[in-house]
Amino acid sequence: MEFSQLVHQRQSVKSYDSGKTITDAELKELFEDVILSPSSFNLQHWTFIAVRGPETKKKLKEAAWGQQQIEDSPVTLLVCGKLDAHEDAPEIYAEAPPAIREKMLPMIQKFYADQTQLVRDEAIRNASLAAMTLMYSAKARGWDTCPMIGFDPDAVAKILKITPNYIPVMMLVVGYQKDAPRPRSHRKPVSEVVRLESLQGAGLTAE
């Protein structure tokens, strides 16, 4: 399938067939795509918690405005962003050529050191890139997804035993769609969201 078709087929889906499952082997194949997402300095600021246990899903649902797809889908994922991802740099660059490693490690430390807002921004930014890869890779495997931001992050962090060096970035369910797709929701046109040369520039048209 061409990528444009995949983009057109992907929609946020809220109704799932609760009788179907996704195995560890299937999940692993999905994540083999996800980990190839880009990230700043290749720091891979993402970690995913995959929840299939009914008790934990029930608690997550309660912490997420009662959204039923959390219980009905076979897997609920919490996409986490790592606030101290830059501390993994020595490990990530361990096998890089020495010239690269010697340039990158001090650059990374300088970029992130004592930058409280930046490390949060980066955790969200890079984990979101991976989340988008996940949604397309899932769709390409015949699964649907629903990204969610409507949840209590502190409650979710407690349920999933998240340590303070991580933040919840997004919840996502993955599964088999039950009902027919809904009509696609409204999108702002390209001519509105793409501006030429500056924010005040002309909108992009094909004429």
Using CB under 8 A as the binding rule, the residues of this chain from 19 to 78 that contact a copy of itself are 24-25, 27-28, 31-33, 35-38, 40, 42, 44, 46-53, 56
**Contacts with a copy of itself: how many residues (CB under 8 A)?**
87
- Window 75-114: contact mask with a copy of itself (x via CB under 8 A): -----x-------x---xxxxx--------------x---
Task: For the segment 146-175, give every residue that binds a copy of itself (CB under 8 A).
Answer: 147, 149-150, 159-163, 166, 169-170
Residue with tokens 């797809």: 69
CB burial of 65-90 (b: ≥16 within 10 Å; e: otherwise) equals: eebebbbbbbbbbbbbbbbebbeebe
Smallest distance from a copy of itself to CB 70, Å: 14
Q: Name the residue nearer to a copy of itself (CB basis): 136 or 178.
A: 136
- Asked if residue 10 binds a copy of itself (CB under 8 A), the reply is yes
- Asked if residue 2 binds a copy of itself (CB under 8 A), the reply is yes
CB 144 within 8 A of CB 177: yes
Binding a copy of itself by CB under 8 A: which of 101, 125, 155, 178? 125
Joined together, the tokens standing for residue 183 give 């009509």
Residue type, 200: Q
Give every CB contact of residue 45 below 8 A, 6+ residues apart in sequence: 39, 81, 82, 85, 122, 123, 125, 126, 127
